[in-house]
Structure 1
Amino acid sequence: MDESFADLSGLPEPLGNFARSIQSRVLQWTGMPVGIGIGHTKTLAKAAQHASKLYRKQTGGVVDLRADHAVRWLLERMPCNEIWGVGRRLTEHLKSEGVTTAWHLASLDPKTVRQRYGVVLERTVRELRGEACIELQEAEPDRQAICTSRMFGSRITTKPAMQEAIASYMHRATQKLRNQKSLTSVFRLGIRTSPFGDEPRYSNATTVTPPYPTDDVLLLTGLASQALDNIWRDGFRYSKAEILLMDLRKRGEYTADLFTPTQSTRSDELMRTIDKINGRFGRNALRSGRMPMAAAWEMRRELMSNAYTTSIHQLMRISAS
């Protein structure tokens, strides 16, 4: 499981009661217990959340770490390696200087820490002292590159089958591209055999530049299929392919060349229609003709765990009895 941060400014006190209402609802809806930590900074909130697990019986899984005496009590008992962002190697360096707990670290001079260890640890020290230095990330930043790459469920030995796989991977990659409203100016196509076993080995890749920045899955799939001719070799059992979209440009935020063609309005409308249909009827309800309905090379999913936290249809059911 992962975690998330939230700004609780403006909510009525006591915040501990609000945190317990969240905890109760998550448990009711999913059957999973969660720990919640409250602090003046993200690092202190993270430390409080760690304490909510460590002292679950005493705290009920909710720790409010805003009082000075509570901060000191916890940091004095918290080893450096438990601090968010302090790794094993840095912990060893700190230990050699007698810094073994979070309280020792918080007591260091931030400017000296910056000179010796860098700005990242300085921010950690300031955060442990109650000075907010790490901002909340309101939304995930757009990706600078988009990659779709999976091992095949069974080896591919023919070019038509590889073209199907590449079309499927490009379909998924361009969905991600359009979701963040970006266009790609360059993409990389790669194929390879397994690096294990006694089979003959081969790997190769090629870079393709479309005629203009685009998110058109039909154009990109056609270019990828043509590029495959340059790297395909008969006689090998291929285990993996990769599509990497690069040089991404945000729609409306780049200056096009006056003498270079741009993606047509018709293509834009077609991509919007494809996404709208797939959004309503399923991710692959509408696809390019090169994509198969089912293929032997697709990733095996017989042992895949249920998506309890990401699919409403696979949520755990809790009976009253």
Structure 2
Amino acid sequence: MSVETVADFVSLDPKSLRNLLTVVGARVQAELRGQSCLALADVSPTRKSIASTRTFGRILTEWSDIREAVAHYAARAAEKLRAEHLEAAHLSVLIQTNPHNGDPWYAKHVGAAIEPTSDTRDLIRHATELAEAVWLPSYRYFKAGVILTDLRPAGQQSQLFSMRQPEMSSAAMAAMDAINARFGRGIIRPSSTALSRTWRPRATLLSGRYTTCLDEVVTARSW
């Protein structure tokens, strides 16, 4: 369209530009013309939900494997919660079969209100209990996930008859996060998340970790 400079872009017909680049392109042009389209926010809004969902690297039929996967997803969601200084008061779990391989279709999504927490151990317990309630042994599962909602700032919600000890919980989670941040994610993790994790998603197409993993550093050869 002979657009080689910002000036050329600004001078385009707005209607034609919108048809070509949708509303996003039209907003860029309007902003360049001095018209504010998106308001700036001084403080980013609090997240409404946190999800950790994945397809398995292989079809799972055993409850023990699914339990490990769900526990791992709950642990990852808990890490995200603590990173944003939040707690969750509602937890949902989903499991499903593969709708594209001819297996019988089965999908369940179940949730429950929980005492506000970001403790990995509590979230794993709730998630695995919910998953076990909807798991059926006659199906072949290929996906599961954990979704946290009703998020609120950590430490601001007190329960009159709480069975937890918030101070001890916060100290334990802070220590675990600090060790994992220093030595690598997963160096310390609940045993319920498993050690081998054969259900992990396939990663055959990932690029090499050239700058973060010594075993994958690129080597140069002289001829």
TM-score range, shorter chain: 0.7 to 0.9
1:81 paired with 2:28, answer no
More strand by share: 2
Whether the 8 Å CA contact 2:9–2:29 is kept in 1: the answer is no
Equivalent residue for 1:12?
none
- Unpaired segments of 5 or more residues in structure 1? 1-50, 56-62, 66-70, 92-101, 103-120
Give secondary structure in 1 for the equivalent of 2:100.
Answer: coil
- CA shift digits 1:254-306 (9 cap, x unpaired): 5545x342652100100101100110111111100101122221100011234
Please give the alpha-carbon distance, in whole angstroms, between the structure 1 residues aligned to 2:96 and 2:37: 44
Alignment partner for residue 223 of structure 1, among 116, 120, 126? 126
Equivalent residue for 1:236?
139
Give the AA of the match of 2:134.
Answer: I
* Distance apart, 1:201 and its partner CA: 1.9
Identity %: 28
- Residue correspondence of structure 1 range 135-284 to structure 2 within 5 A: 135-136=39-40, 141-210=45-114, 212-251=115-154, 254=156, 256=158, 259-261=160-162, 264-284=166-186
Please give the alpha-carbon distance, in whole angstroms, between the structure 2 residues aligned to 1:316 and 1:128: 43
**Matched residues, number:** 215
Please give the alpha-carbon distance, in whole angstroms, between the structure 2 residues aligned to 1:140 and 1:238: 37
* Distance apart, 1:128 and its partner CA: 4.5
Distance 1:132 1:173, change over 3 A: same
Distance 1:264 1:316, change over 3 A: same
- Alignment root-mean-square deviation, CA: 3.3
Please give the alpha-carbon distance, in whole angstroms, between the structure 2 residues aligned to 1:237 and 1:268: 38
Give secondary structure in 2 for the equivalent of 1:186.
Answer: strand
Whether the 8 Å CA contact 2:70–2:127 is kept in 1: the answer is yes
Give secondary structure in 1 for the equivalent of 2:182.
Answer: helix
Distance 1:276 1:158, change over 3 A: same
Whether the 8 Å CA contact 1:157–1:236 is kept in 2: the answer is yes
Please give the alpha-carbon distance, in whole angstroms, between the structure 1 residues aligned to 2:212 and 2:134: 42
TM-score by length of structure 1 reads: 0.58
Greater mean alpha carbon deviation, residues 222-231 or residues 174-183: 222-231
Whether the 8 Å CA contact 2:10–2:33 is kept in 1: the answer is no
- CA shift digits 1:59-80 (9 cap, x unpaired): xxxx6x5xxxxx4x43224641
- Unpaired segments of 5 or more residues in structure 2? none
Please give the alpha-carbon distance, in whole angstroms, between the structure 2 residues aligned to 1:144 and 1:317: 45
1:305 paired with 2:218, answer no
TM-score by length of structure 2 reads: 0.81
Distance 1:84 1:190, change over 3 A: same
Whether the 8 Å CA contact 1:213–1:263 is kept in 2: the answer is no
Please give the alpha-carbon distance, in whole angstroms, between the structure 1 residues aligned to 2:123 and 2:207: 33
* Distance apart, 1:143 and its partner CA: 2.0
Equivalent residue for 1:134?
38
Please give the alpha-carbon distance, in whole angstroms, between the structure 2 residues aligned to 1:85 and 1:312: 39
Give secondary structure in 1 for the equivalent of 2:198.
Answer: coil
